[in-house]
Amino acid sequence: MKLDKQKSNLKYYYQTQDYKIHAYKNIPEFLDKSVSEIALQNFFEEKILFGCEYKKNFIEVIYEEKKLRVSINKKEKFIDFQNPKELKDLFDRESSRMLNSQKTKIRMSKTTILFIAGLILIVVNFITFFISLHFFDKKSVNRIIAPIFLMLFGCGSLMTFPKNLEDFESAEGSNFIDLKLCIISLFFGIILLPAGFWMLL
């Protein structure tokens, strides 16, 4: 299968023996045409790695003692150097999979869904609370509305905590802003939820 680099946005690159990374402007011959053992030998004479990436996905090939070590998003497999067609088929299949994955429906993680639900709960809670101030007397607000507001606010804060923690752990250098969000969401959840229950008693 011949891939159109402009349409697919696949980025090809290779690493030379001086460990410098170089970009390919065009698809390498041993992938674009009938691949052969000689073509692979010529390619890996001065190069130690060949790769292809699209957004966060990548395929990398390293030549090791008459074998090709192929890494697909960190999952490795070995291909015999004498069977170069297997490498071409693998690249065709995996690169197509990388491109087609962008056309599929985006699936949100459970923590993201929980985070969005928590934010919605907090926003709706605030709006409802301020509206209720115009329809209920002060005594009713203090005895019923305020405790419910605190409990829902605390619950919403706890719902946002897993996502904040996930962002903090995945952030490069453990971003200080993400750390503050973790602490704030956990703090409000732990303090306000029990406080609301206590006020209702």
Q: What's the pLDDT at 27? A: 66
Instruction: Please indicate, yes or no, whether residues 72 and 115 belong to a single structural domain of this protein.
Output: no
Q: Which of 100, 133, 148 is the last residue of a domain?
A: 100
Q: Into how many domains does the chain fold? A: 2
Contact 189, 158 (CB under 8 A): yes
Nearest to 69 by CA among 78, 60, 57: 78
Q: What six digits make up the tokens of 16?
A: 């030379």
Instruction: Please indicate, yes or no, whether residues 157 and 196 belong to a single structural domain of this protein.
Output: yes
pLDDT in tens, 169-198: 554 444 556 677 777 888 888 888 888 888
Does 95 or 152 have the greater pLDDT score? Answer: 152
Residue 57 lies in a domain: yes
Segment 136-162 shows an average pLDDT of 82
Residue 105 lies in a domain: no
Instruction: Please indicate, yes or no, whether residues 91 and 122 belong to a single structural domain of this protein.
Output: no
Q: What's the pLDDT at 5? A: 43
Contact 96, 1 (CB under 8 A): yes
How far apart are alpha carbons 36 and 19 in whole angstroms?
25
Instruction: Please indicate, yes or no, whether residues 87 and 29 belong to a single structural domain of this protein.
Output: yes
Instruction: Please indicate, yes or no, whether residues 96 and 12 belong to a single structural domain of this protein.
Output: yes
In the three-class reduction of DSSP (H, G, I as helix; E, B as strand; rest coil), residue 34 is classed as: coil
Instruction: Please indicate, yes or no, whether residues 93 and 158 belong to a single structural domain of this protein.
Output: no
Q: What six digits make up the tokens of 39?
A: 């073509």
Q: What's the pLDDT at 142? A: 77
- Report percent pLDDT > 90 for the chain: 1
Highest mean pLDDT among 4-8, 12-16, 44-48, 95-99: 12-16
134 lies in which domain range?
110-200
**How many Cα neighbours within 13 Å face the side chain of 155?**
14
Instruction: Please indicate, yes or no, whether residues 28 and 69 belong to a single structural domain of this protein.
Output: yes
Residues 6+ apart with CB under 8 A from 55: 98, 102
Nearest to 35 by CA among 92, 95, 76, 73: 92
Does 158 or 123 have the greater pLDDT score? Answer: 123
The position carrying tokens 């999952």 is: 75
Q: What's the pLDDT at 164? A: 65
How, if at all, do strands 57-64 and 67-72 pair? antiparallel
Does 131 or 37 have the greater pLDDT score? Answer: 131
Segment 27-54 shows an average pLDDT of 70
Instruction: Please indicate, yes or no, whether residues 96 and 118 belong to a single structural domain of this protein.
Output: no
